[in-house]
């Protein structure tokens, strides 16, 4: 049988009679094995070292590898366990391949080879994967929720978040911010008002879809105070990537005090900013409790001045940013439903911005 032209350097002769230079003849050809010395050996070490360097750059406010919730911590433990299982399977496969390549012809009998395939290719993976399955199944069971546990409704909109804290005194509405008491079980009632969204706070729990007309429950428990970040992980329109929210985990006493303050109406002064807010019709969409502004289409602005970010976690709430967003919201968030006010003078937008900053 004729040998292909130009393959002498890399391919051995056809039907070499079994093994040549420790390499099996596969499909009639002998494979050329490239050594790992020198540059190849350096690359073997460079890849894992560089990988560790990349991991060290991960943030802690939006990372599943830096959990602050019980559910996310359990998911990270499961990830590590699955990774160990994958490494063991890969190591077994590597050992089997190396044994097949380096063993002399006839080193093992056909019966021994079949036994090796049975144990390493069937029994061992079945036991390992079965153990991982048994370990992970209890994690799929939702955590129990008691009658006294806090319930928060989260309603996703294009491209912002409406929050509603269910309290004995009535619901308390907010926007683009989620506050949680550390150490307490919280049931998040997730839904959407327009298209499908997805709720994910990487350090708190796994993600869950938010479907219009349907409420899904995600039970969480924050275990470490701090400031974190959540995002929408289901493409929902032009500004999907600009739809985030702040997550603040607070000690229980601080959370109770904050929630009591949020229940009170806004402390406002009837200045130029308030008058302009009303004259431009902002109250048709936005509500400020304690005033005549009672719109429900857009975010509640009652305590806007106490929020950490503007435009759903995108901008710092400075006077300049607020004024610019009021006049041209589409410049920051394409596809946003808030109308632009190009006819509004900068001085008027600034006055409204300062009025909003005083709502704490």
- Band of the pLDDT at 59, cuts 50, 70, 90? confident
pLDDT in tens, 155-205: 999 999 999 999 998 999 999 999 999 999 999 999 999 999 999 999 999
What one-character DSSP code corresponds to residue 240? Answer: G
Q: Which pLDDT score is estimated for 14?
A: 35
Q: Which of 233, 263, 293 is the last residue of a domain?
A: 263
- For residue 176, the enclosing domain spans 59-263
More confident residue, 128 or 237: 237
Q: What confidence tens digit (pLDDT) does each residue in 3-52 have?
A: 444 444 333 333 333 444 444 443 343 444 444 445 555 555 555 556 65
- How far apart (Å, rounded) are the C-alpha atoms in residues 340 and 357? 20
What's the CA gap between 289 and 261, in Å, rounded? 12
**Whether 75 and 164 share a structural domain:** yes
pLDDT in tens, 106-148: 777 888 878 888 887 788 888 888 888 888 888 778 788 888 8
State whether 211 and 332 are in the same domain: no
* One domain, residues 102 and 144: yes
Mean pLDDT of the chain, nearest integer: 84
> What one-character DSSP code corresponds to residue 241?
G
**Which residue is listed with tokens 């307490």?**
184
pLDDT score, position 142? 77
Q: Are 67 and 200 in contact (CB under 8 A)?
A: no
One domain, residues 138 and 161: yes
- 227, 200: one domain: yes
**What's the pLDDT score for residue 49?**
57
CA distance 36 to 55: 26
Give pLDDT tens digits for 281-328: 999 999 999 899 999 999 999 999 999 999 999 999 999 999 999 999
Check residue 296 and give its pLDDT: 93
Interval 235-240 mean pLDDT: 96
Residue 174 and residue 242 in one domain: yes
pLDDT at 11: 37
Give the domain CATH number at 302. Answer: 2.60.40.420
CA atoms within 13 A on the CB side of 229: 16
Which of 263, 291, 315 marks a domain boundary? Answer: 263
CA distance 207 to 345: 42
pTM: 0.76
| Domain match, 90 and 217 both | yes
Reported as half-sphere exposure (CB side, CA atoms, 13 A), residue 210 has a value of 29
User: Once rounded to an integer, what is the mean pLDDT over residues 327-348?
Assistant: 95
pLDDT at 360: 85
Strand spans (E) along 158-309: 160-167, 170-175, 177-181, 186-192, 197-200, 208-210, 216-220, 226-232, 244-250
CA distances from 262 to 34, 151, 289, 354, 355 (A): 68, 16, 10, 20, 18
Tokens read off for 330: 């589409």
**How many structural domains are present in the chain?**
3
User: Are 28 and 155 members of one domain?
Assistant: no
Q: In this predicted structure, what is the pLDDT of residue 189?
A: 97
Q: Which residues contact 28 (CB under 8 A, 6 or more apart)?
A: 1, 14, 15
Same domain, residue pair 150 and 74:
yes
pLDDT for 44: 58
pLDDT for position 119: 85
Same domain, 44 and 82: no
Where is the domain boundary, 57, 77, 98? Answer: 57
Q: Could you tell me if 10 and 89 lie in one domain?
A: no
The C-alpha atoms of residue 43 and residue 37 are separated, in whole angstroms, by 10
CB-CB contact of 181 with 255 (8 Å): yes
Task: For residues 50 and 96, state if they share a domain.
Answer: no
């Amino acid at each position: 049988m004729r040998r292909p032209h130009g393959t002498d350097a890399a391919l051995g002769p056809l039907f070499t009679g079994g093994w040549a230079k420790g390499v099996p003849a596969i499909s009639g050809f002998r494979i050329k094995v490239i050594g790992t010395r020198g540059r190849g050996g350096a690359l073997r070490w460079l890849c894992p070292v560089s990988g560790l360097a990349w991991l060290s750059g991960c943030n802690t406010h939006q990372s599943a590898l830096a959990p602050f919730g019980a559910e996310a911590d359990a998911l990270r433990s499961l990830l590590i366990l699955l990774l160990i299982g994958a490494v063991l399977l890969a190591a077994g496969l590597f050992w089997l391949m190396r044994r097949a390549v380096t063993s002399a012809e006839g080193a093992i009998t056909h019966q021994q080879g079949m036994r090796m395939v049975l144990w390493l290719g069937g029994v061992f993976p079945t036991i390992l994967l079965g153990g991982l399955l048994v370990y992970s199944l209890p994690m799929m069971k939702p955590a129990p929720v008691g009658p006294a546990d806090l319930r928060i409704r989260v309603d996703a909109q294009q491209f912002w978040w409406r929050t509603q804290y269910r309290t004995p005194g009535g619901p308390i509405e907010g926007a683009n911010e989620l506050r949680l008491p550390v150490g307490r079980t919280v049931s998040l009632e997730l839904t959407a008002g327009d298209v499908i969204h997805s709720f994910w706070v990487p350090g708190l729990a796994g993600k869950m879809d938010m479907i219009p007309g349907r409420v899904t429950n995600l039970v969480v428990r924050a275990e470490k105070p701090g400031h974190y970040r959540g995002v929408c992980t289901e493409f929902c329109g032009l500004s999907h990537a600009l739809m985030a929210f702040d997550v603040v985990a607070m000690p229980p006493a601080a959370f109770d005090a904050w929630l009591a303050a949020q229940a009170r109406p806004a402390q406002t002064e009837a200045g130029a900013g308030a008058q302009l807010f009303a004259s431009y019709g902002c109250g048709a969409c936005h509500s400020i409790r304690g005033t005549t502004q009672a719109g429900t289409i857009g975010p509640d602005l009652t305590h806007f001045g106490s929020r950490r970010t503007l435009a759903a976690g995108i901008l710092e709430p400075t006077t300049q940013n607020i004024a610019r967003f009021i006049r041209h919201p589409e410049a920051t968030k394409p596809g946003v439903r808030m109308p632009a006010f190009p006819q509004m003078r900068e001085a008027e937008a600034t006055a409204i911005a300062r009025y909003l900053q005083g709502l704490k």
